[in-house]
A and B are shown apart, each in its own frame.
Chain A
Amino acid sequence: MSGLTSMTGAARAEILARTRAALTRAQPPGPVVRDYRTTGDLQLGSPELVALLTDRLVDYRAHVHPVGTEQISAAIAGIAAAHAGGAARFVVASDFATAWRQGWGAVEDHGLSPRELDETDGAVTTCRVAIADTGTLVLDAGPGQGRRAITLVPDLHICLVRHDQIVQTVPEALRRLDAGRPITFISGPSATSDIELARVEGVHGPRILHVLLISPP
């Protein structure tokens, strides 16, 4: 490895020198003008914003369930019953609220191997923020979300979104994020159009995506 490091150390100096040489006569660029929208027109928490997100999610063929806080457990149990005859085992992060685990089989993740994750029926998580314009759920491994692998290996993902987590535009979402965390943008189930441009859903990620849109109490 030390040979490798010194080899790339020389390359580093050389590439930086080349880059500087290439720019010796460059004109300083003009300022970066940011005239694009950084907020949407829709009010945070408004029914219109929730409707826009719903529309986009349905467009991606995600299953959308509008629920109140007290209905969360029942909604998940309903999906579990429909999915695996009630015997479904869904992975959750260890800090996923116990109040929402009633009536269905939650498996806490304490470092499950990829194979063990593969044997579960799905994952249930919260999210960091959702983008209505694009129908995007953003996870950042924060509270209730767990590590990235749990929403990837199992075949089904149930994502909980509170109305106050919905923003309209991409810039609003980015501005709520901490770049240092592992971040995943999810916009519908995984998909491919690689064969004659025919859309096929669920190639490697979860094939089924349920979104619980949770209204304030």
Chain B
Amino acid sequence: MTTFLGLPGGLPHADRHTGQVEGSLRFPDAARTALADGQLRTNIGAATRTIRTKRAAVVAEVPDWEELREAGRAIKTDTMARLPELLLQLEENVTARGGVVHWARDATQANAIVAGLVRAVGATEVVKVKSMVTQEIGLNEALAERGITAWETDLAELIVQLGHDKPSHILVPAIHRNRAQIREIFLREMPGVDSGLTDEPRDLAMAARRYLRAKFLTAQVAVSGANFAVADTGTLTVVESEGNGRMCLTLPQTLITVMGIEKVVPTFSDLEVFLQLLPRSSTGERMNPYTSMWTGVTPGDGPQDVHLVLLDNGRTATLADQVGRAALHCIRCSACLNVCPVYERTGGHAYGSVYPGPIGAVLSPQLTGITGGDDPNDSLPYASSLCGACFDACPVKIDIPNLLVNLRAQHTEAHADTHRIPSAEQIAMAATAWAMSSPSRWARAQATTRAGRLLGRRRQVIRALPAPLSAWTAARDLPRPPTETFRQWWAARDAGEHR
């Protein structure tokens, strides 16, 4: 039972064809399309700049920010190490308060559980609070196949849903749409909308308010995700802005919450750390407008039929990698997206998966597994310049560059195992990975690219390398080699810590 640890294909991964954990194109190909879309680049650029500025201002006013980050990191590390016991404790406490806990190995099973619960109360519609995990498992589509309509109630998600579109940013999923486009979508897709609707954001938001209010007041079933689940009390938490979350969590009789098993935190007081880190990192606010916490059923207040679906879907496989498991610490704030020079240019769609940006580049391939082949998620660990901005911004100190390097090494190994005659691009990739996979080779590669490295010191990227690495830099800039940390990491890896 221990031989598979650290090896791809050991514990079961997420099915790459169910839900949305992988796109249909490799990153360089998808990015090319995105780069050609001027509107997209302008919108994403403006959004990330605005949020970056706001975040910097509210983070600067917290004197103990670094102490909070360190506590956040330590709590998450501790959580992962004690995951089985904490999940059992969570289950026990939710159950004791009248909730029902379900376990789902994968997307298919989670979708079946939710559909079964909706059917059991005789409903054909559900209202939904924005939740990444239900996008990951493709819940809306699975419900639709069974004749159940899922209404997204977050304004951005509604825009995406009505536009038959995909989210492009964790936090502002419709950032790729401008006001004129949103007006058009509403006029076309929103039944009963006022034909005199203007493209003023306030007007558009009020149209959504009217449209959704009727649904909130009559909905029987709501589906939510959870930002945090507290093991020692059984308390679930949803952090939001618009109040659609409160509507879903409060008015329907049945509430079904789907969460990845990594969302558990040990104690209620741990929330004092995350409720400080998350809003400031995410929307750049001191606190988000609404945070809801509930524990099982409260008689006479809110849903009386409460369910929690705990989802694996590749998370235990991710947990098995001692470096990679840090990706499970993510609290989905999106700060790493907003500081990422790659994300800023390509937007979220290029990453294919529901998880975009730097965190997506390390989480999605781990959920589906690295195959060493041409799978789109195999290309994600290379969708980065390793500049380290994501690490600095991350409120729980996930060392994303280190995780990327770890995945690149895995990709090379898996590639060598599965491919005997590599393609031209793969030769370039493999050459780079080969160079990076040994300190002495890396040192030699660096020695031959001194000019590039000097340039890289200033600009954080290398724009040209001698062959065979040049084939790769033709496609994208090569990061300045993180020699010190890489070597340290490699030494630790060779010493047997990793596998």
- A residues neighboring B (CB under 8 Å): 1, 4, 7-9, 11-12, 14-16, 18-38, 56, 60, 111, 114-115, 118, 131, 133-136, 141, 147-149, 152-153, 170-171, 174-175, 177, 179-198, 200, 202-206
Q: Is the interface of B mostly helix, strand, loop or mixed?
A: helix
- Within B271-300, which residues are at the interface with A (CB < 8 Å)? 271-273, 275-276, 279, 283, 285-295, 298, 300
Chain A residues whose C-beta falls within 8 Å of the C-beta of B286 in the assembled complex: 56, 133-135, 187
Q: Is the CB of A136 within 8 A of B287?
A: yes
Chain A residues whose C-beta falls within 8 Å of the C-beta of B174 in the assembled complex: 194-195
Q: Is the CB of A37 within 8 A of B244?
A: no
Apart from A18-B11, A32-B74, A190-B290, what 16 extra A-B contacts exist at CB < 8 Å?
Answer: A19-B261, A28-B81, A29-B80, A32-B71, A36-B276, A148-B301, A180-B233, A182-B295, A182-B302, A186-B289, A195-B174, A203-B241, A204-B209, A204-B213, A204-B216, A206-B243
Task: Given A35-B70, A118-B217, answer yes or no on A204-B292 (Cβ-Cβ < 8 Å).
Answer: no
For residue B430, CB closer than 8 A to chain A, the reply is no
Chain B residues whose C-beta falls within 8 Å of the C-beta of A179 in the assembled complex: 230, 233, 235, 268, 293, 295
For residue B78, CB closer than 8 A to chain A, the reply is yes
For residue B319, CB closer than 8 A to chain A, the reply is yes
Measured CB to CB, the nearest residue on chain A to B159 is A194
Q: Is the CB of B74 within 8 A of A184?
A: no
Residue tally, chain B, CB below 8 Å to A: 105
Task: Given A11-B103, A32-B75, answer yes or no on A203-B320 (Cβ-Cβ < 8 Å).
Answer: no
Q: Is the CB of B5 within 8 A of A25?
A: yes
Interface centre among A7, A22, A184 (most CB of B within 10 A): A22
Chain A to chain B contacts (Cβ below 8 Å), 19 pairs:
A4-B102, A11-B104, A16-B88, A19-B83, A27-B497, A33-B70, A33-B71, A34-B71, A35-B71, A136-B287, A152-B246, A180-B233, A189-B289, A193-B172, A195-B205, A196-B178, A204-B246, A205-B242, A205-B290
Task: Given A23-B84, A33-B70, A185-B291, answer yes or no on A191-B242 (Cβ-Cβ < 8 Å).
Answer: yes
- Checking A24, A32, A36, A149 against B78 with a beta-carbon cut-off of 8 angstroms, the contacting residue is A32
Q: Is the CB of A7 within 8 A of B268?
A: no
User: B28-36, B309-317, B448-456, B467-475: which lies at the A interface?
Assistant: B309-317
For residue B164, CB closer than 8 A to chain A, the reply is no
For residue B420, CB closer than 8 A to chain A, the reply is no
Measured CB to CB, the nearest residue on chain A to B178 is A196
Measured CB to CB, the nearest residue on chain A to B1 is A21
Q: How far is A194 from B130 in the complex, measured between Cα atoms in Å?
A: 13
Give 10 closest A-B pairs by Cβ, nearest first. Answer: A205-B243, A204-B243, A190-B243, A185-B291, A18-B316, A134-B287, A22-B320, A179-B233, A194-B156, A187-B287
Chain A residues whose C-beta falls within 8 Å of the C-beta of B275 in the assembled complex: 170, 174, 185
Chain A residues whose C-beta falls within 8 Å of the C-beta of B279 in the assembled complex: 134
Task: Given A19-B84, A23-B84, answer yes or no on A184-B269 (Cβ-Cβ < 8 Å).
Answer: no
Q: Is the CB of B81 within 8 A of A29?
A: yes
Contact with A along B1-23 (1 / 0, CB 8 A): 11011000001100000000000
- Checking B71, B209, B243, B285 against A152 with a beta-carbon cut-off of 8 angstroms, the contacting residue is B243
B485 to chain A, nearest CB (A): 19
- Checking A8, A23, A34 against B319 with a beta-carbon cut-off of 8 angstroms, the contacting residue is A23
Contact with A along B212-225 (1 / 0, CB 8 A): 11001110000000
For residue B87, CB closer than 8 A to chain A, the reply is yes
Q: Is the CB of A174 within 8 A of B272?
A: yes
Q: How far is A183 from B301 in the complex, measured between Cα atoms in Å?
A: 11
Task: Given A185-B290, A203-B209, A204-B213, answer yes or no on A147-B300 (Cβ-Cβ < 8 Å).
Answer: yes
Q: How far is A33 from B72 in the complex, measured between Cα atoms in Å?
A: 9
Chain A residues whose C-beta falls within 8 Å of the C-beta of B293 in the assembled complex: 179, 182-184
Q: How far is A183 from B497 in the complex, measured between Cα atoms in Å?
A: 43
Chain B residues whose C-beta falls within 8 Å of the C-beta of A205 in the assembled complex: 242-243, 246-247, 289-290
- Checking A16, A182, A190 against B87 with a beta-carbon cut-off of 8 angstroms, the contacting residue is A16
Q: How far is A34 from B67 in the complex, measured between Cα atoms in Å?
A: 7
For residue B63, CB closer than 8 A to chain A, the reply is yes
B255 to chain A, nearest CB (A): 12
Q: How far is A191 from B243 in the complex, measured between Cα atoms in Å?
A: 8
For residue B105, CB closer than 8 A to chain A, the reply is yes
Q: How far is A201 from B264 in the complex, measured between Cα atoms in Å?
A: 32
Q: Is the CB of A203 within 8 A of B77?
A: no
Q: Is the CB of A118 within 8 A of B268?
A: no
Q: How far is A19 from B173 in the complex, measured between Cα atoms in Å?
A: 32
Q: How far is A202 from B241 in the complex, measured between Cα atoms in Å?
A: 10
Q: How far is A9 from B286 in the complex, measured between Cα atoms in Å?
A: 42
Measured CB to CB, the nearest residue on chain B to A206 is B243
- Within B234-271, which residues are at the interface with A (CB < 8 Å)? 235, 241-244, 246-247, 250-251, 261, 268-269, 271
Measured CB to CB, the nearest residue on chain B to A18 is B316
Q: How far is A28 from B82 in the complex, measured between Cα atoms in Å?
A: 9
For residue B458, CB closer than 8 A to chain A, the reply is no
